Amino acid sequence: MKKRSGTFYLLMVPVLLWLGLLIVIPHLDMVYRSFRFETDDWEMVFSLNNYLTFFQDQIYWLTFVKTALYSIGVTFLAFVVTFPVAFYLTKVVGKKYSSFMTLLLLIPIWIGELVTVYGWMILLRDNGVINTFLMNIGIIKEPIEMLFTNFSMTIGLLYMSMLFMIVPMMSALDSLDDSLIEAASDLGASKWTIFRKIIIPYTTPGIVSGGIIVFMLVIGDYVAPNILGGKSSLWFTEQIYNKFLMSFNWNEGAAFGFLLLGLSSGIVWVALKLSGQKLEKVGS
């Protein structure tokens, strides 16, 4: 092992400070809180009660199951929607236009999630752009209720997370040599077979890494479910928010936060196992 110089340790200081002060210490504090419980005699004791609440009260774990299923669904939708775009940008249009078009894709991120969410409200509300248009051309008589439903929430989540799918997928597709596609075609593969047997297996690391980012962003998002989902669409982050800021029960809130972390990590782990990928490979 090489002996490290003083400069090396000096340069490590910002990283260690950042990790320590902003991540490790607050998390340790939260772990500690999540095991604290106030008894009927207003006494603080160590207990698993905060975690048990989640399993005992149906509303919490049902919300979590719904959140997880919707997140998986949005991740899948993000793949379906962005794969053709990524393929088009890397394999169909030339290099010249592809970088410009990628830039166009990034613009919504500059605006920020909150503003784009309000943009969707303008489009989706009862007297919004879509309903007005459909009524004017006579397809529908009454406006369709789209806003404050699971539908509008899904659209909002999809819109804010899509790009994080496209970028890793584009870099995977970019490294796919066109001659592999030609070789498969030469060996007798149909377009569908090429897609299934060559393109998808080749880009799986990119798809999985994009999928993990999208899934984590979606499952931990607060803005889109809260604003676009309205009252009828419960999201697990809203439960955590309510614990902290509505019922001022920080201990239970902390426990719920760790449950979200644990369960979503578990889902990612299962997804990695199912797709036969390794975290190190996907992460690079």
Rounded CA-CA distance 27/263 in Å is 17
State how far the Cα of 127 lies from the Cα of 144, in Å rounded to an integer.
10
| Residue (85 or 176) nearer to other proteins, CB | 176
Smallest distance from other proteins to CB 95, Å: 18
The whole-angstrom separation of Cα 250 and Cα 242 is 10
Query: For residue 269, what are the contacts with CB-CB under 8 A and spacing of at least 6?
Result: none
Q: How is residue 102 written in tokens? A: 């990628």
Closest distance of CB 210 from other proteins, Å: 18
Minimum distance between the CB of residue 163 and other proteins, rounded to whole angstroms? 26
Residue (43 or 186) nearer to other proteins, CB:
186
H/E/C letters for each residue in 75-128?
HHHHHHHHHHHHHHHHHHCCHHHHHHHHHHHHHHHHHCHHHHHHHHHHHHCCCC
Question: Which of 40-68 are b and which e, b meaning 16 or more Cβ less than 10 Å from the residue's Cβ?
Answer: eeeeeeeeebbbebbeeeeebeebbeebb
For 50, residues 6+ apart whose C-beta sits below 8 A from its C-beta are 34, 35, 36, 37, 251, 252, 254, 255, 256
For the CB of residue 60, give the shortest distance to other proteins in the complex, in Å. Answer: 42
37's enclosing H/E stretch is strand 36-38
**202 versus 222: smaller Cβ distance to other proteins:** 202
Closest approach, Cβ 90 to other proteins, in A, equals: 17
Tracing tokens 């249009």 back to the chain, one arrives at 93
Q: Tell the smallest beta-carbon distance from residue 214 to other proteins (Å).
A: 23
CB of 284 to other proteins, least distance (A): 16
Binding residues for other proteins, rule: CB under 8 A, are 177, 179-180, 182-190, 193, 197-198, 201-202
Compare residues 16 and 200 and give the one whose CB is closer to other proteins. Answer: 200
Closest to other proteins by CB, 124 vs 184, is 184
Nearest Cα neighbor of 159 from 224, 73, 231, 211 is: 224
**Cα separation, 194 vs 215, whole angstroms:** 27
- Whose Cβ is closer to other proteins: residue 56's or residue 193's? 193
Q: Nearer Cβ to other proteins, position 6 or 188?
A: 188
For other proteins, the closer CB: 202 or 258: 202
**Smallest separation, CB 16 to other proteins (Å):** 38
Helix, strand, or coil (residue 152): helix
